[in-house]
Amino acid sequence: MSKKHRAFLKWAGGKYGLSDVIAKMLPKGQRLIEPFVGAGSVFLNTDYDEYILNDINKDLINLYKILQKTPDTFIDDARKLFTVNNNDADVYYQFRAEFNASENSYFRSLMFLYMNKHGYNGLCRYNKSGGYNVPFGRYKKPYFPEAELNFFAEKSQKATFVCEGYRQTFARAN
């Protein structure tokens, strides 16, 4: 791959800076199995025919599956959240409370992206009760990653997303 691609999510411990080094160390083959996909920097910067991408975070994997299946609708709906009025602590905490109370996977995927870009340092953290608890980030104008979302959606057509423990993911390898 010639151009290096950034993930659409901010991610603590992301592999973007190391993706070139990691890519050179990966074996040749048709399929990459990634047990800790996170924001997907290795996925975005490698070229395999097929990917199995896993993370234990069900909200992350849910977002990826929705973006894979309905990219245009998801991107249009997500764009509407990136307004001046929504870049506000009170709005953020209201959205966070609604996210924590919701079981609607589509709504949760939109809120997950919104909170990732508006929350503190791109952290993803849940309390013992399973509630998302990252504080508001206080950014002047959070970036809406439209180009990155589109690239991910297109490339994700080669991917299977799973949410399981890494041992189960490793067991998928022959």
31-34: strand order across its sheet: 31-34, 50-54, 159-162
Per-residue pLDDT of 55-77, as tens digits, reads 999 999 999 999 999 999 999 99
Instruction: Pick the closest to residue 86 from 142, 47, 127, 42 (CA basis).
Output: 142
Contact 32, 47 (CB under 8 A): no
Predicted local distance difference test score (pLDDT) of residue 1? 47
Predicted local distance difference test score (pLDDT) of residue 89? 98
Instruction: Pick the closest to residue 7 from 160, 163, 152 (CA basis).
Output: 152
133 vs 97: CA distance, rounded Å: 9
Per-residue pLDDT of 102-116, as tens digits, reads 999 999 999 999 999
